[in-house]
Structure 1
Amino acid sequence: MSRITSLVGDITKIEADAIVNAANSSLLGGGGVYGAIHRAAGQELVQECRLLHGCKTGQAKITSGYRLPARHVIHTVGPVWRGGDEGEPDLLASCYETSLRLAAEYSCKTVAFPAISTGIYGYPADLAAGTAIKAIRSALGDLPGIESVMLVAFDEQAHAHLVKALKRKED
Protein backbone atom coordinates (compact mmCIF):
# COMPACT_ATOMS: atom_id res chain seq x y z
CA MET A 1 0.00 0.00 0.00
CA SER A 2 1.25 3.47 -0.87
CA ARG A 3 2.08 5.94 1.86
CA ILE A 4 0.61 8.70 -0.35
CA THR A 5 -3.10 8.83 -1.22
CA SER A 6 -5.42 11.39 -2.76
CA LEU A 7 -9.06 12.05 -1.97
CA VAL A 8 -11.73 14.68 -2.48
CA GLY A 9 -12.91 16.22 0.76
CA ASP A 10 -12.86 18.92 3.38
CA ILE A 11 -9.46 19.08 5.06
CA THR A 12 -11.03 20.50 8.23
CA LYS A 13 -12.83 17.17 8.73
CA ILE A 14 -9.82 14.91 8.17
CA GLU A 15 -8.68 12.86 11.13
CA ALA A 16 -4.89 13.03 11.08
CA ASP A 17 -2.08 13.83 13.44
CA ALA A 18 -1.52 17.01 11.42
CA ILE A 19 -3.22 18.91 8.66
CA VAL A 20 -1.36 21.47 6.62
CA ASN A 21 -2.65 24.99 6.20
CA ALA A 22 -1.92 26.83 2.96
CA ALA A 23 -1.22 30.08 4.79
CA ASN A 24 -0.08 33.58 3.95
CA SER A 25 3.12 34.99 5.41
CA SER A 26 1.41 36.82 8.28
CA LEU A 27 -0.41 33.66 9.46
CA LEU A 28 -3.16 36.04 10.61
CA GLY A 29 -5.95 35.85 8.09
CA GLY A 30 -7.14 34.83 4.69
CA GLY A 31 -9.73 33.00 2.68
CA GLY A 32 -9.90 29.61 1.00
CA VAL A 33 -8.36 26.70 2.89
CA TYR A 34 -6.74 29.11 5.31
CA GLY A 35 -10.02 30.69 6.36
CA ALA A 36 -11.79 27.33 6.58
CA ILE A 37 -9.11 25.90 8.89
CA HIS A 38 -9.18 28.95 11.16
CA ARG A 39 -12.99 28.94 11.37
CA ALA A 40 -13.08 25.24 12.20
CA ALA A 41 -10.24 25.40 14.75
CA GLY A 42 -11.59 28.42 16.61
CA GLN A 43 -10.18 31.66 17.96
CA GLU A 44 -7.42 29.91 19.91
CA LEU A 45 -5.66 29.10 16.64
CA VAL A 46 -5.52 32.79 15.68
CA GLN A 47 -4.16 33.63 19.13
CA GLU A 48 -1.39 31.04 18.83
CA CYS A 49 -0.56 32.16 15.28
CA ARG A 50 0.01 35.71 16.55
CA LEU A 51 2.84 34.34 18.69
CA LEU A 52 4.60 32.81 15.67
CA HIS A 53 5.44 36.19 14.07
CA GLY A 54 4.70 35.07 10.53
CA CYS A 55 6.36 32.56 8.24
CA LYS A 56 8.57 32.85 5.16
CA THR A 57 7.61 31.41 1.78
CA GLY A 58 8.65 27.77 1.53
CA GLN A 59 8.90 27.36 5.31
CA ALA A 60 6.49 25.91 7.90
CA LYS A 61 5.44 26.44 11.52
CA ILE A 62 3.25 24.27 13.76
CA THR A 63 0.40 24.92 16.20
CA SER A 64 -2.19 22.90 18.06
CA GLY A 65 -5.30 21.82 16.18
CA TYR A 66 -7.78 23.05 18.82
CA ARG A 67 -11.31 22.16 17.64
CA LEU A 68 -10.13 20.30 14.54
CA PRO A 69 -9.97 16.49 14.49
CA ALA A 70 -6.23 16.93 13.80
CA ARG A 71 -3.85 17.25 16.74
CA HIS A 72 -1.70 19.84 14.94
CA VAL A 73 -1.92 22.40 12.16
CA ILE A 74 1.23 22.96 10.13
CA HIS A 75 1.18 26.36 8.46
CA THR A 76 3.19 26.71 5.26
CA VAL A 77 3.44 29.62 2.86
CA GLY A 78 3.44 28.70 -0.80
CA PRO A 79 4.83 30.83 -3.60
CA VAL A 80 2.78 33.17 -5.76
CA TRP A 81 2.95 31.91 -9.37
CA ARG A 82 4.87 34.33 -11.58
CA GLY A 83 5.43 32.06 -14.56
CA GLY A 84 7.76 29.53 -12.97
CA ASP A 85 11.05 31.33 -13.52
CA GLU A 86 11.34 32.92 -10.07
CA GLY A 87 12.01 29.82 -8.01
CA GLU A 88 8.38 28.84 -7.56
CA PRO A 89 8.91 25.06 -8.05
CA ASP A 90 11.69 24.95 -5.43
CA LEU A 91 9.69 27.05 -2.98
CA LEU A 92 6.61 24.86 -3.44
CA ALA A 93 8.65 21.69 -2.96
CA SER A 94 10.11 23.23 0.20
CA CYS A 95 6.58 23.74 1.57
CA TYR A 96 5.90 20.01 1.38
CA GLU A 97 9.35 18.96 2.59
CA THR A 98 9.55 21.34 5.55
CA SER A 99 5.99 20.49 6.56
CA LEU A 100 6.76 16.77 6.58
CA ARG A 101 9.99 17.25 8.52
CA LEU A 102 8.17 19.37 11.08
CA ALA A 103 5.45 16.72 11.33
CA ALA A 104 8.10 14.07 11.97
CA GLU A 105 9.70 16.24 14.70
CA TYR A 106 6.32 16.26 16.46
CA SER A 107 5.86 12.48 16.06
CA CYS A 108 3.02 12.80 13.56
CA LYS A 109 2.33 9.57 11.71
CA THR A 110 -0.48 10.87 9.48
CA VAL A 111 -0.43 14.17 7.60
CA ALA A 112 -3.02 15.74 5.29
CA PHE A 113 -2.17 18.42 2.73
CA PRO A 114 -4.35 20.72 0.64
CA ALA A 115 -3.16 21.82 -2.81
CA ILE A 116 -0.72 24.55 -1.78
CA SER A 117 -0.57 27.75 -3.89
CA THR A 118 -3.18 26.64 -6.43
CA GLY A 119 -5.91 29.02 -5.27
CA ILE A 120 -5.45 32.76 -5.13
CA TYR A 121 -1.67 32.35 -5.54
CA GLY A 122 -2.34 31.08 -9.08
CA TYR A 123 0.02 28.10 -9.29
CA PRO A 124 -1.20 25.84 -12.14
CA ALA A 125 -2.81 22.81 -10.49
CA ASP A 126 -1.24 20.23 -12.79
CA LEU A 127 2.28 21.57 -12.23
CA ALA A 128 1.68 21.94 -8.49
CA ALA A 129 0.50 18.33 -8.24
CA GLY A 130 3.66 17.02 -9.91
CA THR A 131 5.89 19.13 -7.69
CA ALA A 132 3.99 18.05 -4.58
CA ILE A 133 4.24 14.33 -5.33
CA LYS A 134 7.93 14.51 -6.18
CA ALA A 135 8.72 16.50 -3.00
CA ILE A 136 6.65 14.21 -0.77
CA ARG A 137 8.23 11.06 -2.21
CA SER A 138 11.69 12.53 -1.68
CA ALA A 139 11.02 13.60 1.91
CA LEU A 140 9.36 10.32 2.88
CA GLY A 141 12.53 8.49 1.86
CA ASP A 142 14.16 9.51 5.13
CA LEU A 143 11.06 9.95 7.31
CA PRO A 144 10.01 6.36 8.13
CA GLY A 145 7.87 7.52 11.08
CA ILE A 146 5.35 9.12 8.75
CA GLU A 147 3.00 6.33 7.79
CA SER A 148 0.46 8.15 5.64
CA VAL A 149 0.24 11.36 3.62
CA MET A 150 -3.21 12.31 2.37
CA LEU A 151 -3.59 14.85 -0.41
CA VAL A 152 -7.01 16.38 0.07
CA ALA A 153 -8.44 17.87 -3.10
CA PHE A 154 -11.21 20.43 -2.94
CA ASP A 155 -12.92 19.09 -6.08
CA GLU A 156 -12.74 16.32 -8.69
CA GLN A 157 -10.65 18.40 -11.10
CA ALA A 158 -7.91 18.99 -8.51
CA HIS A 159 -8.13 15.32 -7.52
CA ALA A 160 -7.60 14.28 -11.15
CA HIS A 161 -4.31 16.23 -11.27
CA LEU A 162 -3.12 14.50 -8.10
CA VAL A 163 -4.10 11.03 -9.33
CA LYS A 164 -2.25 11.63 -12.61
CA ALA A 165 0.86 12.82 -10.74
CA LEU A 166 0.72 9.82 -8.39
CA LYS A 167 0.68 7.44 -11.35
CA ARG A 168 3.89 8.89 -12.79
CA LYS A 169 7.06 7.03 -11.98
CA GLU A 170 9.59 8.90 -9.86
CA ASP A 171 11.69 11.30 -11.93
Structure 2
Amino acid sequence: MVEIEIIQGDITKLAVDAIVNAANCSLLGGGGVDGAIHRAAGPELLQACIPLNGCETGKAKITPGFRLPAKFVIHTPGPIYRDGLHGEPELLESCYKSCLDLAEENGCETVAFPAISCGVYGYPWEAATEIAIRTVDKYPAKCLKKVVFCCFGEQMLKVYRDAYRK
Protein backbone atom coordinates (compact mmCIF):
# COMPACT_ATOMS: atom_id res chain seq x y z
CA MET A 1 0.00 0.00 0.00
CA VAL A 2 1.23 3.47 -0.88
CA GLU A 3 1.84 5.96 1.93
CA ILE A 4 -0.04 9.22 1.41
CA GLU A 5 1.29 12.54 2.69
CA ILE A 6 -0.60 15.83 2.42
CA ILE A 7 1.42 19.03 2.66
CA GLN A 8 1.23 22.70 1.82
CA GLY A 9 4.15 23.98 -0.21
CA ASP A 10 5.80 24.59 -3.56
CA ILE A 11 5.81 21.43 -5.67
CA THR A 12 8.85 22.69 -7.62
CA LYS A 13 10.99 22.47 -4.46
CA LEU A 14 10.17 18.86 -3.55
CA ALA A 15 12.95 16.30 -3.66
CA VAL A 16 10.87 13.39 -4.95
CA ASP A 17 11.42 11.06 -7.89
CA ALA A 18 8.67 12.73 -9.93
CA ILE A 19 6.40 15.72 -9.71
CA VAL A 20 3.17 15.89 -11.66
CA ASN A 21 2.46 18.88 -13.85
CA ALA A 22 -1.21 19.83 -14.23
CA ALA A 23 -0.51 20.68 -17.86
CA ASN A 24 -2.60 21.83 -20.77
CA CYS A 25 -2.91 19.60 -23.83
CA SER A 26 -0.09 21.37 -25.69
CA LEU A 27 2.44 20.55 -22.90
CA LEU A 28 4.15 23.82 -23.85
CA GLY A 29 3.62 25.65 -20.57
CA GLY A 30 0.83 27.79 -19.24
CA GLY A 31 -0.30 29.43 -16.04
CA GLY A 32 -0.60 28.20 -12.48
CA VAL A 33 1.41 25.15 -11.49
CA ASP A 34 2.23 24.46 -15.16
CA GLY A 35 3.97 27.82 -15.56
CA ALA A 36 5.73 27.48 -12.21
CA ILE A 37 7.12 24.05 -13.13
CA HIS A 38 8.31 25.26 -16.54
CA ARG A 39 10.02 28.30 -14.96
CA ALA A 40 11.71 26.23 -12.24
CA ALA A 41 12.82 23.44 -14.59
CA GLY A 42 14.31 25.86 -17.10
CA PRO A 43 14.01 26.15 -20.89
CA GLU A 44 15.14 22.56 -21.36
CA LEU A 45 11.71 21.38 -20.18
CA LEU A 46 9.96 23.17 -23.02
CA GLN A 47 12.47 21.72 -25.49
CA ALA A 48 11.76 18.21 -24.13
CA CYS A 49 7.99 18.76 -24.41
CA ILE A 50 7.93 19.98 -28.02
CA PRO A 51 8.61 16.55 -29.63
CA LEU A 52 5.95 14.90 -27.42
CA ASN A 53 3.28 16.48 -29.67
CA GLY A 54 0.96 17.30 -26.80
CA CYS A 55 -1.12 14.98 -24.67
CA GLU A 56 -4.79 14.01 -24.51
CA THR A 57 -6.85 14.89 -21.45
CA GLY A 58 -6.65 12.04 -18.95
CA LYS A 59 -3.35 10.68 -20.32
CA ALA A 60 0.21 11.45 -19.21
CA LYS A 61 3.71 11.86 -20.62
CA ILE A 62 7.07 12.04 -18.86
CA THR A 63 10.18 14.19 -19.23
CA PRO A 64 13.33 14.71 -17.19
CA GLY A 65 13.10 17.25 -14.36
CA PHE A 66 16.12 19.24 -15.56
CA ARG A 67 16.74 22.02 -12.97
CA LEU A 68 14.13 20.68 -10.52
CA PRO A 69 15.05 18.56 -7.49
CA ALA A 70 12.71 15.91 -8.96
CA LYS A 71 14.22 13.49 -11.46
CA PHE A 72 11.08 13.49 -13.64
CA VAL A 73 8.09 15.65 -14.53
CA ILE A 74 4.94 13.74 -15.41
CA HIS A 75 2.63 15.95 -17.45
CA THR A 76 -1.13 15.33 -17.42
CA PRO A 77 -3.90 17.52 -18.80
CA GLY A 78 -6.88 17.37 -16.48
CA PRO A 79 -10.46 17.82 -17.58
CA ILE A 80 -12.10 21.22 -17.76
CA TYR A 81 -15.09 20.96 -15.44
CA ARG A 82 -18.48 21.60 -16.99
CA ASP A 83 -21.02 19.94 -14.75
CA GLY A 84 -19.58 16.53 -13.86
CA LEU A 85 -21.81 14.82 -16.41
CA HIS A 86 -19.44 14.93 -19.40
CA GLY A 87 -16.88 12.34 -18.30
CA GLU A 88 -14.96 14.68 -16.01
CA PRO A 89 -14.73 12.24 -13.04
CA GLU A 90 -13.48 9.42 -15.27
CA LEU A 91 -10.98 11.69 -17.02
CA LEU A 92 -9.63 13.00 -13.71
CA GLU A 93 -9.27 9.47 -12.35
CA SER A 94 -7.48 8.55 -15.59
CA CYS A 95 -5.03 11.44 -15.04
CA TYR A 96 -4.00 10.01 -11.68
CA LYS A 97 -3.83 6.41 -12.95
CA SER A 98 -1.80 7.41 -16.02
CA CYS A 99 0.67 9.34 -13.86
CA LEU A 100 1.01 6.47 -11.39
CA ASP A 101 1.56 4.02 -14.27
CA LEU A 102 4.35 6.20 -15.72
CA ALA A 103 5.91 6.58 -12.27
CA GLU A 104 5.94 2.79 -11.86
CA GLU A 105 7.32 2.24 -15.37
CA ASN A 106 10.19 4.62 -14.56
CA GLY A 107 11.03 3.10 -11.17
CA CYS A 108 9.77 6.01 -9.08
CA GLU A 109 9.31 5.45 -5.36
CA THR A 110 7.99 8.94 -4.58
CA VAL A 111 5.59 11.12 -6.58
CA ALA A 112 4.08 14.52 -5.78
CA PHE A 113 0.76 15.68 -7.22
CA PRO A 114 -0.77 19.15 -7.35
CA ALA A 115 -4.57 19.52 -7.26
CA ILE A 116 -5.19 18.60 -10.91
CA SER A 117 -7.99 20.58 -12.60
CA CYS A 118 -8.74 22.60 -9.44
CA GLY A 119 -7.42 25.92 -10.71
CA VAL A 120 -8.61 27.60 -13.89
CA TYR A 121 -10.15 24.28 -15.05
CA GLY A 122 -12.77 24.79 -12.33
CA TYR A 123 -13.13 21.30 -10.87
CA PRO A 124 -14.92 21.45 -7.49
CA TRP A 125 -12.24 20.89 -4.88
CA GLU A 126 -14.06 18.36 -2.71
CA ALA A 127 -14.99 16.13 -5.63
CA ALA A 128 -11.51 16.35 -7.16
CA THR A 129 -9.69 15.53 -3.92
CA GLU A 130 -11.93 12.52 -3.27
CA ILE A 131 -11.09 11.18 -6.74
CA ALA A 132 -7.37 11.84 -6.22
CA ILE A 133 -7.15 10.13 -2.84
CA ARG A 134 -9.38 7.19 -3.80
CA THR A 135 -7.39 6.56 -7.01
CA VAL A 136 -4.03 6.62 -5.24
CA ASP A 137 -5.34 4.56 -2.32
CA LYS A 138 -6.56 1.70 -4.53
CA TYR A 139 -3.60 1.79 -6.96
CA PRO A 140 -1.75 -1.57 -7.08
CA ALA A 141 1.76 -0.16 -6.64
CA LYS A 142 4.85 -2.29 -7.08
CA CYS A 143 7.78 0.09 -6.58
CA LEU A 144 5.89 3.24 -5.64
CA LYS A 145 6.10 3.81 -1.89
CA LYS A 146 4.85 7.34 -1.26
CA VAL A 147 2.52 9.88 -2.87
CA VAL A 148 2.60 13.49 -1.74
CA PHE A 149 -0.38 15.73 -2.38
CA CYS A 150 1.20 19.18 -2.47
CA CYS A 151 -1.33 21.93 -1.79
CA PHE A 152 -0.66 25.52 -2.77
CA GLY A 153 -2.75 27.12 -0.03
CA GLU A 154 -4.25 26.42 3.38
CA GLN A 155 -7.81 26.07 2.05
CA MET A 156 -6.80 23.30 -0.34
CA LEU A 157 -4.75 21.65 2.40
CA LYS A 158 -7.87 21.51 4.59
CA VAL A 159 -9.97 20.06 1.74
CA TYR A 160 -7.38 17.31 1.12
CA ARG A 161 -7.08 16.47 4.81
CA ASP A 162 -10.87 16.33 5.18
CA ALA A 163 -11.16 14.05 2.13
CA TYR A 164 -8.39 11.80 3.44
CA ARG A 165 -10.18 11.33 6.76
CA LYS A 166 -13.32 10.02 4.99
Same fold flag (TM > 0.5): yes
Aligned ranges 1:18-167 → 2 under 5 Å = 18-139=18-139, 142-167=140-165
SS at match of 2:22: strand
Contact 2:21 2:75 in 1 (8 A): yes
SS at match of 2:138: helix
Q: Which runs of 5+ in 1 are unaligned?
A: none
Summarize the Cα distance change of 1:156–1:88 in structure 2 as closer, same or farther, 3 Å threshold. same
* 2:13 equivalent in structure 1: 13
Structure 2: distance between partners of 1:2 and 1:59:
21
Structure 2: distance between partners of 1:98 and 1:153:
20
TM-score (norm 1): 0.95
Q: Percent identity?
A: 55
Task: Look up the equivalent residue of 1:153 and give its one-letter code.
Answer: C
Structure 2: distance between partners of 1:66 and 1:144:
26
Structure 2: distance between partners of 1:129 and 1:92:
10
Kindly tell me the number of residue pairs found equivalent between the two proteins: 166
Structure 1: distance between partners of 2:11 and 2:32:
11
Contact 2:96 2:135 in 1 (8 A): yes
Q: Which runs of 5+ in 2 are unaligned?
A: none
SS at match of 1:85: coil
Deviation at 1:29, TM superposition (A): 2.1
- Provide Cα deviations, 1:86-105, integer angstroms capped at 9, x if missing partner: 01001001101110010000
